[in-house]
Amino acid sequence: MGLLYCTLGLLILLDLSAAFDMVDHEPLDHRLADVGIQGTVLQWLRSFLSGRGQRVALGGELSSRHFLVCGVPQGAILSPMLFNIFMRPLAQLVRSFGLGCHQYADDTQLYLLMDGHPDSAPDTLTRCLEAVAGWLRGSRLKLNPSKTEVLWLGRGDMGLGGQLPSLAGAQLVPAPSVKSLGVIFDTSLSMEAQIAAITKAAFFHLRQAKQLAPYLSRPDLATVIHATVTSRLDYCNSLYVGLPLRLTQKLQRVQNAAARLLTRSSLRDHIHPVLYQLHWLPVEYRIRFKVLVLTFKALYGLGPSYLRDRLSWYAPQRNLRSSNKNILKVPGHREVRLASTRARAFSAVAPIWWNTLSQETRALRDLTSFRRACKTELFHQAFGQGTA
């Protein structure tokens, strides 16, 4: 996920029932051929899907085996890729109506950005949703309109239910917040609910880890903390750019508590030497590190194109010494007018932070080398000494 900032628009999160189990093998076979998969590889995939069956066991009795003509095995590494290929025409259909579409496994999200301050959704959205419902029926996928969520970005009032279209007979009603891929979003993208949920879960796991600490070696305790706490702090943390200090401080308190538990240091000990000893970047710098890695991936074809489209190399009109230093263009105030947007938008923050890196780090082309050099620089900035 890239950085988000609040604009006026609609986000619709479709809900499908047993999506992986409903994939029809025959149309999937055609769509695999459409994306250029053929020959031996296509035969391998057909073999992977065919011959699968299921039966019911009850009280020691087994039913006869029923062979499946649909579904991709959940848990298999190939299944998300096969499902995405099966759903590929849906994204093309949505974009033909002028809406955006993002898909990840069985999560499909539609979004519509609108200029001005309309009081209701345009007719385009109604026609798009009708087409989407028809496509899903034709593809034998079951849509749950009652569980489909809608977030009206940039609107604080919730009295807009009657001004949204229906989906498969169910009236869409905007919600005050929605959860997308484990992240809670509200209408202003304040991230307050998300950070509250993160800190609550993290402190719960820290209390559990504290009870285990006397029985675990330090490396094992570190593994527990990284798996249950640090992973939560780092998940989608690029979304925390530009948030008020009071919110990021909540996350920092979680990291401080985890560091004290691992090192068995007391509350009287200053936390900076503890984090330095552990080689842990503070939360603020972990956020910056994630954004810089996303920037590197976007620049060199390892990340999503919608992030790459928001970046451009600095190209001065005259031949200057800075011309060949891998510097990004920072958008001016005419391009990003609102101060709040400049503080959070990927298109503004990423170039500023990228340009502060050393020329040697910006010149790297290998992701592993860049991550190592970038972390070292940020570690020096955070602590003023030492190496990562």
In this prediction, residue 195 carries a pLDDT of: 96
* pLDDT over threshold 70, residue 349: yes
Task: Using pLDDT thresholds of 50, 70 and 90, give the confidence band for residue 65.
Answer: confident
Task: Using pLDDT thresholds of 50, 70 and 90, give the confidence band for residue 316.
Answer: confident
Q: Is the pLDDT higher at 42 or at 220?
A: 220
Task: Using pLDDT thresholds of 50, 70 and 90, give the confidence band for residue 336.
Answer: low
Q: CA 346: distance to chain centroid?
A: 14
How many angstroms separate the most distant Cα atoms in the chain? 82
Question: Which residue in the block uniquely carries the two structure tokens 């999200």?
Answer: 109
- Backbone torsions φ then ψ of 255, nearest 5 degrees: -65, -40
247 touches 192 (CB < 8 A): yes
Task: Using pLDDT thresholds of 50, 70 and 90, give the confidence band for residue 326.
Answer: confident
Within 8 A by CB and 6+ apart from 78, the residues are 45, 48, 72
DSSP 161: G
142 touches 16 (CB < 8 A): yes
In this prediction, residue 335 carries a pLDDT of: 66
In this prediction, residue 347 carries a pLDDT of: 87
In this prediction, residue 3 carries a pLDDT of: 46
* pLDDT over threshold 90, residue 64: no
**What average pLDDT does range 62-79 have in this prediction?**
84
Structure confidence by residue, pLDDT tens digits, 154-208:
765 544 444 777 888 888 888 889 998 889 998 888 899 999 999 999 999 999 9
SS3 166: strand
Both structure tokens of 50: 């065919």
Structure confidence by residue, pLDDT tens digits, 9-62:
888 999 888 888 888 888 888 899 888 988 899 899 888 888 888 888 888 888
Task: Using pLDDT thresholds of 50, 70 and 90, give the confidence band for residue 323.
Answer: low
The residues pairing with 151 across neighbouring beta strands, listed in sequence order, are 11
Domains recognised in the chain with CATH numbers: 2-32+71-186 (3.30.70.270), 192-280 (no CATH), 285-384 (no CATH)
Angle between helices 245-263 and 218-225 (to 10 degrees): 160
Looking at every residue in the chain, the average pLDDT score rounds to 86
Q: Is the pLDDT higher at 335 or at 311?
A: 311
Task: Using pLDDT thresholds of 50, 70 and 90, give the confidence band for residue 381.
Answer: very high
The answer to whether the pTM exceeds 0.85 is no
